[in-house]
Chains A and B, each alone.
Chain A
């Protein structure tokens, strides 16, 4: 392999060796000198007054170091919310305190009442069980649509109708109502986009320590964004000096959004470590993970899509109740609004759109961004409606989509596409991905196979989903105007060492995405050096200047672009040094394949030679600083807009209703691709998570607010024998506004796949004469069987 063409190659991952040999270093693997262990006393009730907390018996138990209750942290701030959404009337959203430990009343099962710290984990658990809490149970509410009704129990006494905010976006509702009224056909769906539990296989884990002699804290945390945790914890919760706090996110065992947020335990452990002057560690049990890790989705929606007589979409009207859980998680408020409402244009030219959201507190676990975050909900809504309309109007679902697609545009020669719901798409070729998907499927043959299957006791169905997402989060000025309380740029520092080896410090954080490989590919490619000469450093606030972390498929588009900006500065300075060495004008120097060359000559000097000169500047340009080390903050001009076409083929057993996913085709356009192997891997995993929502997963609360399937024995996630191989293909429409032309691939699979699978089930049912409009997710055998009885 020549040294300057690393981009676009399926380079095997450099991080793998430590993981396949058991040498990964996750937070729970760390034991510090003088380590103590924490266990929590948590509420068994969804809603209850705390009458009293008796810690006397527990405190005298063997190994107990300290016990703290809500009263001890009453003066400490709660964890903050990072995005402000206002009511339609301009009032600021309701933002009740989310305390580190509750003192007055518990608001969901698992709410923390006390922390017990002991010499060993077992002793901490033993003592936690000896803490006696007296509760007075209160009526609770778990359903968002119920929670806004008069007389519903109030989760927070000062939040009327449990409403955090109401919000709308798009064209005036009167115009949309009129367009729906005048439509030749209206398809309507009332559905639940069910609550999901992220379930990264590594449970959350924190280990916080304090050194009195230097007044310094170190927090190891299973997080997606160490700097953001440091900022939120220091500035908003504990009021401790940011420069005295080191936050490290070491190897993190999957996250999917659930490890973005600043959780109460991170701040509480950091508060405790200063009290006891010893490190405190806590690792969530899986049971706690089900009760506490921010859940995803949970929308109750009614949506109407109006069509003219030829099948052109004329209008879309959406009303959604979004369940936020008992408190505001860090970014809960932007998910149903700016990550959902803004995506309801989809890939279609719909001229009138109005979306109306009511965000609601309930006595349930908090809800926040989970892989896709708002965009899966938007895609599900649109793609289910389009497929339903095709059935109802007796049109082909692919044809109906072709009829309504926004025509291709590259964002350079043709402008970006301005939607009715605030966004401007960067570039797209939507019909391209559907055409490719249909070819891979063999669509014409499929309809014949479908007819044949019906004769064999099976129902065969195909489902389409053509999706778009807003990624590369995000232009700071734009999100700032929409309520974000942080900038969403990224930081990339490129330090060329004297020997020409390169250390890169990125604010992005990898927890499975393979940044140590893809980012090194970018650097090696741009500098014309070997990948072996590049090291990617991430996840440590003491090593990396600053960073906003990894979520919203932003790492390569924003973090990668920050690195490219620093590389450009390295090359520019390198040209000056090279010009001096070659006795030429810096303007006459060109850089390619790791060499600085005087244009039109064979006079050149290598990258390593220039690096050494920068650090041993004996013969050096006058006025130029030594060293070759640049840092950049990259703030994107726009979101990026990956898109694609997902197609599912399912087979239903007519006797049992059992659904088998026979094929899954994913054609994704994520812009330019740095490492196709890694992008494919992201798609595979994303697709299967989306299939999980369609067929297997869903949090179930009973009327008492108990999560009735809160374990791996009860909450069904896809296992190896539940899914087929995923057939992937790409299309490349580069992003016009970032230097790599990349759009991001982390969430595409999850966003596109869910409606494709459900649409396939519906298609199969219609092929058997069961003309159902909807089937509730997860689509279990029982639900399919019941649908076939009608």
Chain B
């Protein structure tokens, strides 16, 4: 048995028939071949699979592909606009916020959600927002700095608050 879904991923509309048990993360990775979203665990604990569903961060291993029907999804591949890196992407490079890179897409997507509703988070607020995402490489030090750096950049750019939704 398969079920028909229509889902807009990074601005592109996809129509597919999927098994009801297919997880959204596997739909993104194996069907759409968007492999920037990673799988690090089987208990929804690590956050490596974090994407945005209708503008909010969500763990794509905790959703079935069929639940994503008629939603708008942004993955790490769709975060940059017109080849311009998102300030968080720039910040992670500038502040050495990544080492092996495996948790990085999930970290950036989670942090992007935070900065959408809190443009000037404190260190404590950043750490609290990121506690659903494991990183085993950085000790979080430079990830926190990256989020602070991006927040300052976004503020300096004085862009109006903008949802990362297409």
Which residues of A line the B interface, CB within 8 A? 12-13, 15-26, 28-29, 31, 121-122, 199-203, 251-256, 283, 285-287, 511-514, 677-678, 680-682, 684-689, 711-713, 717-721, 723, 725-726, 749
Contacts and interface: CB of A to CB of B under 8 A. Distances in A.
Contact of B93 (A16, A24, A681, A689): A16
Given A20-B89, A286-B42, A201 B96 contact: no
Contacts of A723: 139-140
A720 B40 contact: no
Contacts of B58: none
Contacts of B35: 22, 25-26, 28-29
Interface residues of B, number: 59
A202 B139 contact: no
Interface residues of chain B: helix, strand, loop or mixed (majority): loop
Interface in B91-110: 92-94, 96, 98-105, 108
Nearest to B109: A22
A255 B124 CA distance: 29
Interface string B3-39: 0000000000000000101100010011001111111
B99 A31 contact: no
A22 B99 contact: no
Contact of A21 (B43, B89, B130, B133): B89
Given A18-B101, A25-B35, 14 more contacts: A20-B98, A22-B35, A22-B36, A26-B38, A31-B33, A122-B22, A511-B100, A681-B99, A685-B99, A713-B43, A717-B134, A720-B133, A720-B135, A720-B144
Nearest to A25: B35
Contacts of A20: 76, 85, 89, 92-93, 98, 101, 104-105, 108
Given A688-B139, A688-B140, A22 B105 contact: yes
A29 B29 contact: yes
25 contacts: A20-B76, A20-B89, A21-B36, A21-B85, A21-B89, A22-B37, A22-B75, A23-B36, A202-B102, A251-B101, A253-B40, A254-B137, A255-B100, A680-B96, A681-B96, A687-B139, A711-B42, A711-B43, A712-B45, A713-B45, A717-B136, A720-B130, A720-B131, A721-B128, A723-B140
Given A254-B102, A720-B126, A203 B93 contact: no
B57 interface: no
List 5 A-B pairs, minimum CB-CB distance, nearest first.
A22-B36, A253-B102, A19-B101, A688-B139, A512-B100
B80 to A, nearest CB: 6
Nearest to A28: B39
B136 A681 contact: no
B137 A512 contact: yes
A18 B39 CA distance: 17
Contacts of A254: 99-100, 102, 136-137
Contacts of A513: 99
Contacts of B21: 122
Given A13-B93, A685-B136, A725-B141, A24 B36 contact: yes
Contacts, number: 181
A511 to B, nearest CB: 5
B113 to A, nearest CB: 14
Contacts of A253: 38, 40, 100-103
B77 interface: yes
B135 to A, nearest CB: 7
B148 to A, nearest CB: 11
Contacts of B102: 24, 26, 200-202, 253-254
A720 B143 contact: yes
A677 B43 CA distance: 34
A718 B139 CA distance: 8
A677 B96 contact: yes
B46 A22 contact: no
B138 interface: yes
B151 interface: no
Interface in B48-102: 48, 75-77, 79-80, 85, 89, 92-94, 96, 98-102
B140 A720 contact: yes
Nearest to B88: A20
Nearest to B124: A721
B42 A287 contact: yes
Contacts of A681: 96, 99, 137-138, 141-142
B36 A684 contact: no
B131 A719 contact: yes
Contacts of B96: 12-13, 677-678, 680-681
Nearest to A675: B96
A514 B42 CA distance: 28
A263 to B, nearest CB: 18
B36 A202 contact: no
A688 B144 CA distance: 14
A31 B33 CA distance: 9
B36 A12 contact: no
Interface string B129-164: 011011111111111100000000000000000000
B33 to A, nearest CB: 8
